[in-house]
Structure 1
Amino acid sequence: MSKGNRVKHTIRLPPGLSRQLADFAGRKRVSQASVVEAALASFLSPDGSERMEAAFARRLDRISRQMDKLGYHVDLGNEAFALYLRRWLSVTAAPTGEDSAAVRAEAEKRFSYFIEALARRMERGRHLHDEIVRSGDSGTE
């Protein structure tokens, strides 16, 4: 900080805060007065609060994007399970032990259809939770 004229101030700090100040100044190898001066300058600067607000806004935006992405992936997992369960319950017959290679090939083909149907369903925006809400509404009438 500047080495020009100084005005002496005497302040009292809680013991915990005083220890933190001493520890921080010791780690940074600077005087406690310079730490207090820098902290006050930052706190009192007109753009300091704006910078902090901008940093918080950026962080909140990033968290919001992460939550949106997480929500999408949860929806994807729910839809995959629901679609798989519906298909499995409606079309799966007990396999015979005779042609395991043919059964495996058929399973691969069916799995490919499953992935395509899942992609179409996610693109259309049809979601399991919407169907649950709709079926819950119709059950209360």
Structure 2
Amino acid sequence: MSRARLNLFIEPDHAKRLNELAIKKGVSKSSIVAAALASWLSPVPGEQRETAMAKRLDRLSRQFERLERDQNILIETVALYVRYYLTVSTPVPEAHQEAARAQGRLRFSQFIEQLGRRVQKGRRLLDELNTDCEPVKAPAADGVQEGRL
């Protein structure tokens, strides 16, 4: 089989890595370059690779969209909770400020400990809420709402 001779210029780092690979595999540098070129120029595997890449990118896009949706839900949830809390909480009198701060620090440290335990165990409160709560139905004609939160 005849072969065409080519003189190529490649980056020094690539030349070094090519030489190391040839030594490691016990093959010639020419055979490595020929195999890489054949793989690159081959239409069928390339198309399969592009199809696989497209599928992977589609899957990553859907995952990203779900993450973005979940993040927006989380932001809205926290915002609604903060607005509700600020609306219904009464100001603490000046005489009780220090006790309230101490109580707040204690509650926050307990919250962080509980959060750490849940994250470590892989448990999600949202999953528990989904199983504990029935869906809330639209208000009945008489104004009484069915379901529970």
**Quick one: distance in 1 between partners of 2:64 and 2:9?**
40
TM-score by length of 2: 0.52
Structural mapping, 1:1-141, within 5 Å: 5-16=1-12, 17-93=14-90
Distance 1:15 1:94, change over 3 A: closer
1:93, 1:27 → 2: CA distance?
74
Return the offset for 1:42. Answer: 0.9
Residues 12-66 of structure 1 deviation map (CA, whole Å, 9 limit, x = unaligned):
2224232232122233332212211211211221213212311321221122022
TM-score by length of 1: 0.54
| Structure 1 unpaired stretches of 5+ | 98-114, 121-141
Q: Which runs of 5+ in 2 are unaligned?
A: 100-128, 136-149
Structure 1 runs (4+) greater than 3 angstroms displaced: 93-97
Aligned CA distance change for structure 1 residues 90 and 15 (closer, same or farther; 3 Å): closer
